Amino acid sequence: MTGIAKSAEELALIETAKRVLPGGTFGNFGADIVIREGLGGRVKDVSGNEFIDYLLGSGPMFIGHNHPAVTEAVLRQVPLGTTFFTNNEHGIRLAEAIVAAVPCAEQVRFVSTGSEADLYAMRLARAYRKRPKIVKFEGGYHGMSDWGLMSLAPRRLANFPEAVPDSPGIPDAIRAEVLVAPFNDVEAAVRLIEARQDEIGGVIMEPFQRLIPPKPGFLQAVREVTARLGIPLIFDEVVTGFRFAYGGAQALYGVTPDICTLGKIVGGGFPLAAVAGRADIMAHFDKALVGEDGFLTQIGTLSGNPVAAVAGLATLEVLRTPGTYEAVTATGQGLMDGLAALIAEAGIPAQILGEPVLFDVVYAEGDMRDYRALLRQDTAMQKHVNGVLRQQGILKGDSKYYLSTAHTAADIAQTLDAFRTALRTLPAARRVA
């Protein structure tokens, strides 16, 4: 594919979206594309253009679009009912599967979105610890709550541990309740937690922060200091859960938190997320165990929805097939290696950052250890290359290749051809001498 033509139908939909949606979008992705269908590792827009899909719905479609096992499970459930607001057998069995898979999970509470899961996880930690403040790491994404939107992508760089709100509408008082540390800096993290231990309700972190892997010993150091001081450690595994390994990043990296949040893959493409953790901490969701003063109210109309639960169960069953993770890791590693070779051949100041199932090209050199290091990247070059990739039939987010079990060797070859084309369009001034 050397160009993307838009049909009259898609152009009309885009114009309608601009009229009825703020910014012409759902708030997630650009307004210039309307997807109609997906199958395996590919999607088609309303105009019929086909794309290799590395967006994957922002990650949930880890086993590909319209996987027959998931589709069949959903179609069996829909005639039996789509929501009940009571316990249902599929939600119970999904909770059982999560407890069996995830190292920190002794009990599970379902919600509908990752943002909800992160919000409740932070509230749960504060309820258990009876302290008001949350420690997070600059550049870490923990959903859309007021607490989560602190120092995700600050427009000004503050002195640690000052928090910077990422959105208007957040009360100033919230800033004082969030303490911010640099990711991958053991000394700074331990010093902050020890110094403010009497105020801290919990520490939340992505064990793999956006694209940045943890440096050796970093997760272990944060785990050690929080365990020693009795402060709940939360791993936000909405992205990494069931992606990096069947037990998530905590299984891959060998570090077990007290609480974790899950989403995306665990719902099989439907709105479902979860808070999971130690039974003594999760007890705060049970008034009979903790009493009125310790009880954390959590109600959600669609929490544990049976359709989402059967989709999640079917997805996890596929992921338990022997060799699944080895195969998708090999596919992703092949794409990473191919992209790195093309970068070297073209003399572009860039590098591959991430893990084989989730990574991107970062247009900068040097150690990408934290959010501030990533600010050195050439975002204009990144935007240009991504735009050419789209014209070549490659759909990805601004930053991230999400790999799926459905991506094939042919997909990888086509992607590398498209990336080679994109690099050739860069002006010579962008290249390393």
Told to judge if 236 belongs to the known catalytic residues of this protein, a careful annotator would answer: yes
Q: What is residue 429's predicted lDDT score, i.e. its pLDDT?
A: 47
Position 430 scores a pLDDT of 57
Contacts 24+ apart (CB under 8 A), 248-251: 248/101, 248/102, 248/103, 249/207, 249/208, 250/102, 250/103, 250/104, 250/207, 251/102, 251/103
Residue 264 contacts residue 271 (beta carbons within 8 Å):
no
Q: Is residue 215 annotated as a catalytic residue, yes or no?
A: no
Q: What is the pLDDT of residue 4?
A: 87
C-alpha distances in angstroms, 303 versus 13, 140, 219, 252, 358? 32, 25, 31, 28, 28
Question: What is the pLDDT of the chain when averaged over all its residues?
Answer: 96
- Per the CB < 8 A criterion, the answer to whether 315 and 63 are in contact is yes
Q: Read off the amino acid at residue 230.
A: G
pLDDT of amino acid 45: 97
Task: Report the alpha-carbon distance of residue 316 to residue 16 in Å, rounded.
Answer: 38
What is the per-residue pLDDT for 431? 56
Catalytic residue among 141, 253, 371, 401: 141
Contact present, 371 and 12 (Cβ < 8 Å)? no
- DSSP 3-state percent helix, strand, coil across the chain (nearest 5): 40, 15, 45
Q: Is the C-alpha dihedral spanning 162, 167, 169, 170 positive or negative?
A: negative
Question: Cβ contacts of residue 236 below 8 Å, gap of 6+?
Answer: 118, 121, 140, 141, 142, 204, 205, 206, 207, 260, 261
Could you say which of 236, 258, 360, 411 is catalytic? 236
Within 205-320, residue ranges assigned H as helices are: 218-229, 249-253, 279-282, 287-294, 306-319
User: How far is it, in rounded angstroms, from Cα 389 to Cα 396?
Assistant: 8
Tens digit of pLDDT for each residue in 22-54? Answer: 999 999 999 999 999 999 999 999 999 999 999
**At what angle are helices 306-319 and 324-346 packed, to 10 degrees?**
80
Q: What's the pLDDT at 1?
A: 42
Asked if 101 and 315 count as a contact pair (C-beta separation under 8 A), the reply is no
DSSP 8-state code for residue 261: E
- Tokens at 233, concatenated: 């450690």
Among candidate residues 136, 264, 396, 400, the one labeled active-site is 264
Domains of the chain, CATH where assigned: 8-66+322-430 (3.90.1150.10), 68-319 (3.40.640.10)
118 contacts 143 by C-beta, under 8 angstroms: yes
Cis preceding-peptide flag for 161 (omega within 30 of 0): yes
* Token pair belonging to 404: 């799926």
| Residue 287 annotated to the active site | no
The reported pLDDT for the residue numbered 79 is: 98
* pLDDT of the chain, 433 residues: tens digit per residue: 457 899 999 999 999 999 999 999 999 999 999 999 999 999 999 999 999 999 999 999 999 999 999 999 999 999 999 999 999 999 999 999 999 999 999 999 999 999 999 999 999 999 999 999 999 999 999 999 999 999 999 989 999 999 999 999 999 999 999 999 999 999 999 999 999 999 999 999 999 999 999 999 999 999 999 999 999 999 999 999 999 999 999 999 999 999 999 999 999 999 999 999 999 999 999 999 999 999 999 999 999 999 999 999 999 999 999 999 999 999 999 999 999 999 999 999 999 999 999 999 999 999 999 999 999 999 999 999 999 999 999 999 999 999 999 999 999 999 999 999 999 999 864 555 4
* Structure token digits, residue 314: 């079917």
> Phi and psi (nearest 5°) for 111?
-135, -170
| 8-state DSSP, 76 | H
In degrees rounded to 5, what are phi and psi of residue 14?
A: -60, -40
Residue closest to 382 by CA, chosen among 367, 404, 397, 402: 397
pLDDT, position 428: 64
